[in-house]
Amino acid sequence: MKNRAFGLIIIGIAALIGFIVYSFNRALDSIVDIACTHGPTCPMQGTINFQTSIGLAIMLLLVLVGVYMIFFSKEEKIVTKTVREQVKPKQLSKEHYKKILNSIPSDEKIIFEKIIDAKGTIFQSELVEKTDYSKVKITRMLDRLEGKGFVERKRRGMTNIVILKV
């Protein structure tokens, strides 16, 4: 919720509290005038004055918070980045990973090359689209690559993003 709207809501609550305190004190004054025989020195008058002061102090505090929220509080802008912006791409080449590519089976090699071609980050669903492999086979190959420490998967919404670790 925006700070300005929130400040207005707080000021509205303060006005409601002020109305409640005012009407409550009027009712108490009339009851005390009828019930108390001591006149203006009645101890109940002191209690009413104390309750009025507390109610007004709370109301004033809420008004101050509301005014602060309206005029002085800054809005925080929520910046959302795409997954590819969150994970900084590296300058990758297949030559850099020749040793790894020679040590893994051909199916995993195809997956690993697709990750390199995508600059080190790719959605798992994109791997399924770019290869002829099923979702299950991609998941199993990524499990093996992840077990060897070559890639890492992070959950993003309804899919995973595969990130090159080495």
In a domain? residue 90: yes
Model pLDDT for residues 139-158, shown as the tens digit of each residue = 999 999 999 888 999 988 88
* Proportion of the chain in helix, strand, coil states, percent, rounded to 5: 65, 10, 25
Model pLDDT for residues 97-118, shown as the tens digit of each residue = 778 888 888 888 899 889 888 8
DSSP class per residue in 47-61: HHHHHHHHHHHHHHH
pLDDT bucket at 77, cuts 50 / 70 / 90 = low
Residue 79 reports pLDDT greater than 70: no
By three-state DSSP, how is residue 166 classified?
Answer: coil
In a domain? residue 78: no
DSSP class per residue in 79-115: P---HHHHSPPP---TGGGHHHHHHS-HHHHHHHHHH
Residues 45 and 90 in one domain: no
Average pLDDT, stretch 127-139?
Answer: 91
Average pLDDT, stretch 116-122?
Answer: 86
Residues 44 and 93 in one domain: no
pLDDT bucket at 26, cuts 50 / 70 / 90 = confident
Q: Give the end of a domain, one of 19, 43, 71.
A: 71
Name every residue whose Cβ is closer than 8 Å to that of residue 83 and which is 6 or more positions away in sequence.
121, 123, 156, 161
- Nearest Cα to Cα of residue 142 among 166, 119, 118, 112: 112
pLDDT bucket at 119, cuts 50 / 70 / 90 = confident
Residues 88 and 67 in one domain: no
In a domain? residue 132: yes
Residues 36 and 98 in one domain: no
pLDDT bucket at 38, cuts 50 / 70 / 90 = confident
Give the number of domains in the chain.
Answer: 2
pLDDT bucket at 81, cuts 50 / 70 / 90 = low
Residue 76 reports pLDDT greater than 70: no
Q: Look up the domain containing 28 and give its range.
A: 3-71
Q: Give the end of a domain, one of 28, 49, 71.
A: 71
Of all residues in the chain, what percent carry a pLDDT higher than 90? Answer: 25
Using CA atoms, how far apart are residues 161 and 155, in angstroms rounded to an integer?
A: 6
In a domain? residue 17: yes
